[in-house]
């Protein structure tokens, strides 16, 4: 499985569709698989694909797309169809066959009206790079709008379409947004976020003060980037804030193994939820051997960081807490330089850990070397690593660790001084020591992101969800998130251990720590 498609909530049921190969653990033979849930945790996988190649407008591929609760409160799917062996791409739609079916298990793709959009001769678009229609939204003028990602050479852009009746779609004369250096805009997502509260908003909201999020999955680097900005209703274009960097140094949902994300508005709890795909880090041969490939990160609630308004916050959906089992607590425990304290009493291979770290002083923080500006956070994590000890850090968690630390995946912070007595915080999830496996194309990166957090109280928090080969970490309440896929050989199941560690010269204080053993999610009955 790969890209999440068309997540939606309809009449008490959550739906997630996904790119899926029913014939193998590698990419190919893609259909739209379909799963349903009442709580985002326990899922039922429906036997029949929702969409599969069979029509004249999708005979050679049914690729990614989005869902919209459209006119008359009826769900509709927009997706990319491939019409020939040259991979010419068009946009098509599908609707449920029976709205009284609570699972919407059968979808139809009418011949009439399909495809809804094709590359026009004057668009200047590569016909094989024209895909991933977005969720639609209703404008103040009564017209619906949606985006399609595309590119021409290195220029990436989002093409805007409008419709008065949700059937006939007309291409706008100007691009909704573009960048001349970023390459293909895959899986574009565009939605409003409130500037006054954490609740999510429907894509079509027009009566509240908001910022807008424009997210693209950039095929050149395989990461998801977003900017915050405004929506010019008169020109129908998106304009990033001047403070919102665009490009390969832009903000990310996640600084690890997380791609092709989709968001949706959940009206049952007034929240916006984002899904992301975490691909494998081992070889295709390994995937074939184990018989499966690709998983999704835990769904996350997303909202605007306030009052700064300069980035998004993310946090695992609250329903995940229903899987919590035995709990272990610590408070006000000191960890000196070089010490490890084991968190005993939890299933370390499957755990949820929330910890708040504090320091008596940050005076020992190392100065941030100007030469490090040539690296991004990931490069700096790789350069410094866990063994380059400093004044404040590295400190954090050793996850999926073997008893003698032959294997471990550290999730940690380092704190530096910058000009004006301010601090710069680096967060890393370093897989280089995660496995003893050698020589089999195992990808073991040192992921990293900077954390925009005020260290005025000398405190910072970390939450890590650990699930056998998956580590999802949320720094400073969800300001920086990192997913890592790792494959230990020793630290497996009951042989896995979990530690708090401090490699900085300043003593660390575990102000509070709560860790839970996590039960396996059961399929929905």
Residues involved in catalysis:
3
**Residue whose tokens read 């996640």:** 254
3-state secondary structure of 326: strand
3-state secondary structure of 371: helix
Write b or e for each residue in 103-122: b if 16 or more Cβ atoms lie within 10 A of its Cβ, otherwise e.
ebeebebeeeebbbbbbeee
End-to-end distance of the chain based on CA atoms, in angstroms? 22
Residue 51 gets which letter from DSSP?
Answer: B
DSSP labels, 80-135:
EEE-STT--EEEEEEEES-TTSTT---EE--STT-SSB---TTS---TTSEE-PPP
SS3 helix, strand, coil % of the chain, rounded to 5? 5, 45, 50
| Distance from C-alpha of 415 to C-alpha of 508, rounded to nearest angstrom | 12
Of 2, 485, 467, nearest in space to 257 by CA: 485
* Maximum alpha-carbon separation in the chain: 70
Taking phi over 0 as left and psi of -120 to 50 as alpha, with beta for the rest, 222 belongs to: left
Q: Residue 9 in contact with residue 267, Cβ under 8 Å? A: yes
Angle formed at CA 287 by CA 282 and CA 291, multiple of 5 degrees = 150
3-state secondary structure of 418: coil
Torsion of CA 353, 354, 359, 362, to 10 degrees: 100
């Amino acid at each position: 499985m790969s890209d999440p498609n068309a997540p939606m909530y309809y009449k008490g049921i959550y739906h997630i569709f996904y790119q899926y190969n029913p014939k193998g653990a590698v990419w190919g033979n893609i259909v739209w698989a379909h799963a349903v849930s009442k709580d985002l945790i326990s899922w039922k996988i429906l036997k029949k694909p929702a969409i599969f190649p069979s029509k004249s407008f999708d005979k050679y591929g049914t690729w990614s797309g989005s869902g919209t609760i459209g006119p008359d409160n009826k769900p509709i799917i927009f997706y990319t169809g491939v019409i020939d062996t040259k991979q010419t791409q068009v946009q098509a739609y599908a609707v449920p066959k029976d709205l009284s079916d609570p699972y919407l298990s059968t979808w139809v793709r009418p011949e009439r009206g399909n495809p809804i959009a094709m590359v026009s001769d004057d668009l200047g678009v590569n016909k094989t790079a024209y895909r991933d229609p977005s969720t639609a939204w209703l404008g103040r003028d009564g017209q619906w709008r949606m985006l399609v990602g595309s590119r021409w050479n290195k220029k990436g852009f989002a093409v805007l379409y409008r419709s008065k009746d949700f059937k006939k779609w007309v291409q706008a004369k100007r691009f909704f947004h573009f960048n001349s250096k970023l390459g293909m805009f895959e899986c574009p997502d565009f939605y409003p976020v409130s500037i006054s509260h954490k609740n999510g908003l429907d894509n079509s909201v027009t009566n509240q003060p908001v910022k807008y999020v424009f997210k693209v999955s950039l095929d050149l680097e395989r990461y998801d980037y977003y900017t915050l900005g405004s929506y010019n209703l008169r020109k129908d274009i998106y304009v990033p804030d001047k403070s919102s960097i665009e490009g390969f140094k832009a903000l990310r949902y996640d600084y690890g193994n997380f791609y092709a994300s989709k968001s949706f508005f959940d009206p049952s709890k007034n929240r916006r939820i984002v899904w992301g795909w975490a691909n494998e880090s081992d070889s295709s041969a390994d995937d074939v051997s184990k018989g499966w490939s690709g998983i999704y990160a835990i769904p996350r609630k997303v909202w605007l960081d306030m009052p700064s308004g300069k980035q998004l916050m993310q946090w695992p959906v609250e329903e995940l807490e229903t899987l919590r089992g035995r709990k272990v607590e610590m408070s006000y425990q000191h960890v000196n330089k070089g010490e490890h304290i084991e968190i005993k009493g939890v299933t370390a291979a499957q755990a949820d850990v929330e910890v708040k770290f504090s320091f008596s002083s940050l005076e020992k923080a190392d100065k941030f070397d100007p030469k490090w500006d040539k690296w991004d956070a990931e490069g700096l994590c790789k350069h410094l690593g866990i063994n380059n000890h400093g004044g404040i850090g590295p400190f954090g968690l050793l996850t999926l660790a073997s008893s003698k630390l032959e294997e471990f995946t550290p999730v940690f912070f380092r704190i530096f001084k910058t000009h004006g007595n301010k601090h710069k915080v680096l967060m890393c999830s370093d897989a280089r020591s995660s496995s003893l496996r050698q020589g089999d194309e195992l990808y073991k990166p040192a992921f990293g992101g900077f954390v925009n957090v005020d260290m005025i109280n000398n405190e910072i928090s970390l939450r890590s969800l650990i699930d056998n080969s998956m580590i999802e970490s949320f720094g400073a309440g969800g300001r920086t998130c990192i997913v890592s896929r790792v494959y230990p050989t020793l630290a497996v199941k009951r042989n896995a251990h979990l530690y708090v560690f401090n490699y900085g010269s300043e003593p660390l204080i575990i102000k509070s720590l709560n860790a839970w053993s996590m039960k396996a999610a059961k399929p929905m009955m």
